[in-house]
Amino acid sequence: MKRLVATGCLFALALTAFAQSTGQTVLVPASKEVLRSYMSPDEFGKYKGAYDLSNGKTLYLIRKATRMYARVDEQGEHEITRSGNGQFQALDGKMWMELVWANDDSVSGSLNYIDESPSVAGLEPKVISIQFASR
């Protein structure tokens, strides 16, 4: 009798496990790991400052202690790291940019960022892609 009860319980547990395994699956996207790249204050000094963007907004690149940050107008600051020659990306993945210097020390380039402006409920934040107008 004890074996019959034990076998019945094991069978019920096996059915429960099987029912759970055939249910819906939920995919959780993994966050992209961005490695920090150290840049000396003198080297970052070339990039530090305000950049006028073609959409009328301003990009600010600043340094606080050993960290570099970027922000567009009154949006939040994003910690950035160098990802290539003249290329930077935010550690949170919400901003990436490329700065191209000309021989006359003028700069051009592009900026991509996720707009954090208050939006209508239910709408996804959009990625803004713009060009630099001047520095």
In single-letter form, the type of residue at position 96 comes to W
83-94 pLDDT per residue, tens: 988 899 999 999
Paired tokens of 62:
């600043």
72 pLDDT above the threshold of 70: yes
More confident residue, 124 or 53: 53
Query: Residue 80 phi/psi, 5° resolution?
Result: -120, 165
Task: Report the alpha-carbon distance of residue 4 to residue 7 in Å, rounded.
Answer: 5
pLDDT at 116 over 60: yes
Report, in this order, helix, strand and coil percent for the chain, each rounded to 5. Answer: 20, 40, 45
Provide the pLDDT for residue 30.
44
pLDDT digits (tens, 9 = 90+) for 9-44: 556 656 555 555 545 444 444 445 567 778 888 998
Average pLDDT over residues 55-73: 93
β-strand partners of 82: 88
- Domain spans of the chain? 41-134
* Beta strands 127-134 and 87-90, pairing class: unpaired
Tell me, yes or no, if the pTM score tops 0.85: no
CA 10-14-20 angle, to 5 degrees, is 145
Q: DSSP state, 34?
A: -
Q: Encoding tokens for residue 106?
A: 């003028």
